[in-house]
Amino acid sequence: MDKQLGNLYIVGVGPGSSAYLTMQAKQIIEQSDVIAGYELSLNAVRESLSNKKVLVQTVENQNEMLDIVAREREIGKDCSILRVGDPCYSSGIKELLDRFKDAQVIPGISSIQVAAAKLGLVLEEVTVLTFHTLRGDMKITKSMLLNSVRDGRITIVLVVADFMPQDVANFLISGGIDPKLPVTIFENLSLENERIFHGGLSGILKESFTYLSVMVIGV
């Protein structure tokens, strides 16, 4: 008799520290036989990974990893695909659900929520933009960014390797935004090497940041 198809979960693990891992996410990961995810998401749950098949995803091998997940499910293994923060924001959830239509999505605490909480922001009054989306046209997101900042709205930006905080600052300044406009950047949120930069837009140009940064423009 055929083995029953294993369960598939897409699990948000928070921004990196286990302090932001929900009890539900932890439980599902502990009950899963196979865990797939990028290094950062795997690090967030390191202590729950012993005795499991761990698939380390990279941009290059992601389809191959998902093929392995599909095969493991076919032999009855429960699998969890991890995503940093919340899986429904800027994490390619559409592509995952297109492939695994019966997946259960487990929410996580987004880096956006952690940054907003640190600054006490009223999230419904804030524009939130990501430059990670594979489907989005960067030009459209850039124009939304400029309009939001021109309108005086606090704007949260998830940066990406080819549009880093320095590029955002240059883009806004060349779009006529005051170089002294305050900005807060949270790098490596919740991790041991967390760093918080606060200064004017032009001050960013003298600094360097990794892509693991949430930029909050206007505070």
The residue type at 23: M
To ligand SAM, the closest distance from the beta carbon of 191 in angstroms equals: 6
To ligand SAM, the closest distance from the beta carbon of 43 in angstroms equals: 10
* Residue 51 or 193 with smaller CB distance to ligand SAM: 193
To ligand SAM, the closest distance from the beta carbon of 16 in angstroms equals: 4
According to the binding rule CB under 6 A, does residue 111 interact with ligand SAM? yes
According to the binding rule CB under 6 A, does residue 116 interact with ligand SAM? no
Binding range to ligand SAM, per CB under 6 A, among 50-58, 146-154, 169-177, 205-213: 205-213
Binding range to ligand SAM, per CB under 6 A, among 46-54, 134-142, 184-192, 201-209: 184-192
Q: Which of 25, 79, 84, 172 binds ligand SAM (CB under 6 A)?
A: 84
Binding range to ligand SAM, per CB under 6 A, among 55-63, 70-78, 86-94, 175-183: 86-94
Residues 58, 59, 62, 64: is their CA dihedral positive or negative?
negative
To ligand SAM, the closest distance from the beta carbon of 14 in angstroms equals: 8
Give residue number: closest CB to ligand SAM: 85
Residue 198 exposure: Cα atoms within 13 Å on the Cβ side: 6
According to the binding rule CB under 6 A, does residue 110 interact with ligand SAM? yes
* Residue 57 or 77 with smaller CB distance to ligand SAM: 57
Burial class (CB in 10 A: 0-12, 13-18, 19+), 22: middle
187: β partners: 195, 213
Instruction: For the segment 40-79, give every residue that binds ligand SAM (CB under 6 A).
Output: none
Q: Which of 9, 89, 100, 163 binds ligand SAM (CB under 6 A)?
A: 89
Using CB under 6 A, list all residues that contact ligand SAM: 15-16, 83-86, 89-91, 110-112, 132, 158-160, 186-191, 211-214
